[in-house]
Every structure is written in C-alpha cells, then in structure tokens.
A = this chain, B = another copy of it.
C-alpha cells in the first residue's frame, strides 16, 4: 500500500466537520490509509497572528453562511454552535488515547464529537462533555476519565501538535499525501488528481 493521507483537523473547525464523514471512504477508494491527526488550531493562530474566522470583519458573516450552506449541500446536520470556537484539548487527548488502542474507534468518536458540536450545538470543550459523548459511543468512560488526567496522554497530544506545527500545518482540514499539502474542505479533487497522476 502506498503512503497514507495525513488528515489534520481541529474539532472546532467547521471545514474539518465537513470532511470527516467522507475522508476514509476517499482514502479507501484511492488505496491510501487515512491517519487522523487532530491538532490545536489555536496554538497555530497564536503563531500566525490569525483570529478566529467569525471574528474577521466582513468575512465572518460569509463564513457563517458558507458553513450552513456547505453542510446542507452535503446533507450534514448543522447549526452554528455557541460558543464558537472552543478549546478542543480534551477532545484531542481523548482521540490520541483511543487511537493508540483502536484507530477505528478513535475515528468513530471523532465523528460523534464533531456531530455533537456542529450538529447538536453541544459544547464539547470540557473533559466531562467528551466523556459523555464517548459514553454514548459505548466506550469505557472510566478509563477515558483517567486517561484525560494522565500526563502521558497530555504529552502525546503536545508532541503531535508540535509535530504538526513543525510540518507547517496551519489550517483545518489539511491533507498531506506523498509530501504534498492540500488545505481546505474543497480540495479533495486535487488530492485525488495528485494521487492518481503521482503529482502533475
């Protein structure tokens, strides 16, 4: 099997939500494993000087409309969540803890977290909220609660986040395949071409 698609996203990113349902099928269709890599967009924004999208004058309203419209086109439940954006530290820690045991479950939990936040307007920023969603997925909530306090799990996310930044990841979603980076929920057609043609 050829190299994986590294799929970087933040759980508070609407454009990440828009891709999360389809990215694995996309990878499978093109014979590529998809390695999910949640990171903390806020730490990147601090480096790039960006502000949250909805806080940007004039553009903010467009983004809100785009998320609503794009979700509807894809048939995904969506409402603009309040608060937005949120801290996704707990969600990302839960992800890596689970990923290291069972990647499929980690992806399922991710989709459930995304849907809780953007589809049901549930604030998933706290450890308690993440544990609640995990419980709904039939996961071991007691083990997860302990993991979220575990320094090793905290270090795991920190290392992933540092690696993402070192790799130049600056937005969500970003796919990296064969060393090539593609940013945005509307660029999978280019990722597809890149894979099929081996670049251009």
Task: Name A residues whose Cβ lies closer than 8 Å to a Cβ of B.
Answer: 44, 47-50, 56-59, 61-62, 65-66, 69-70, 72-73, 168, 170-171, 181, 183-184, 186-187, 189-190, 193, 200
Contact = CB atoms under 8 A, between A and B. Distances in A.
Contacts of A193: 73
A73 B186 contact: no
A61 B168 contact: yes
Copies of this chain held together in the complex = 2
Given A48-B56, A69-B190, A186-B186, 13 more contacts: A44-B58, A47-B58, A48-B59, A61-B168, A62-B168, A62-B181, A70-B190, A72-B200, A73-B190, A73-B200, A184-B186, A186-B187, A186-B189
Max count, chain B CB within 10 A of own CB: residue among A56, A59, A61: A59
Contacts of A56: 48-50
Contacts of A57: 47-49
Contacts of A62: 168, 170, 181, 183
